[in-house]
Amino acid sequence: MGDNTATTMQLLKQAIRSEIDGRRFYEFLADKTKNPDAKRKLTNLAQDERRHESILYRIYKKKFGEEVGEVPEQGVGVLSKFFAHPEKREGLNEVQYIAMAIEAELAATAYYKSEAKNAEDEETKQIFAKMAEEEFSHYESLEAEKSAIGGNYFWFEFGESQPMEG
């Protein structure tokens, strides 16, 4: 197995881990919220991340003719740290959670754009370019939500939250 193949395998595994982290993050938030609109939006984001995960598993199997096996503990971006330190999950407010999600979506967008440029075959290039677009649309949606909660609006309604100051 050449260096390029091993590197590509590792990059795909890291992308899979990042999608798993994204899905888990949005499921975590959807579970915490009491706001039905927020719950629906977060559940949709989690489903998108699950779909991306499935696509990456499929690409890996097609490209290398084998199952993915173990994925790394660390993915791309901030969500790996979120799951590595459970004590840091609690006590955050709505804006902090959204800021974390925005950072994760921007990292995923940059990652997929880069991988689209470096992909060896046209099909993989197109898939990564499409995934970059979808991650960027998640970013845009989250930015809109961040703007919406800038005042005293409880998007998540976590129960013990305090009003956010604009």
At 143, which CATH number? 1.20.1260.10
pLDDT in tens, 106-151: 988 998 999 888 887 788 888 889 989 999 999 999 888 888 776 5
The C-alpha atoms of residue 141 and residue 146 are separated, in whole angstroms, by: 9
Task: Report if residue 135 sits inside a domain.
Answer: yes
Task: Report if residue 88 sits inside a domain.
Answer: yes
Query: 24-34 burial, b if ≥16 CB within 10 A, otherwise e?
Result: ebbbbbbebbe
Q: Which domain holds residue 61?
A: 3-148
53, 66, 95, 159 from 156: Cα distances, Å: 26, 41, 10, 9
pLDDT value, residue 158: 52
Task: Report if residue 82 sits inside a domain.
Answer: yes
The C-alpha atoms of residue 111 and residue 92 are separated, in whole angstroms, by: 26
What rounded mean pLDDT belongs to the chain? 82
Q: What DSSP designation does 161 have?
A: P
* Secondary structure class of 66 (helix, strand, coil): coil
Task: Report if residue 161 sits inside a domain.
Answer: no
pLDDT of residue 76 exceeding 50: yes
Based on the structure, what is the number of domains in the chain? 1
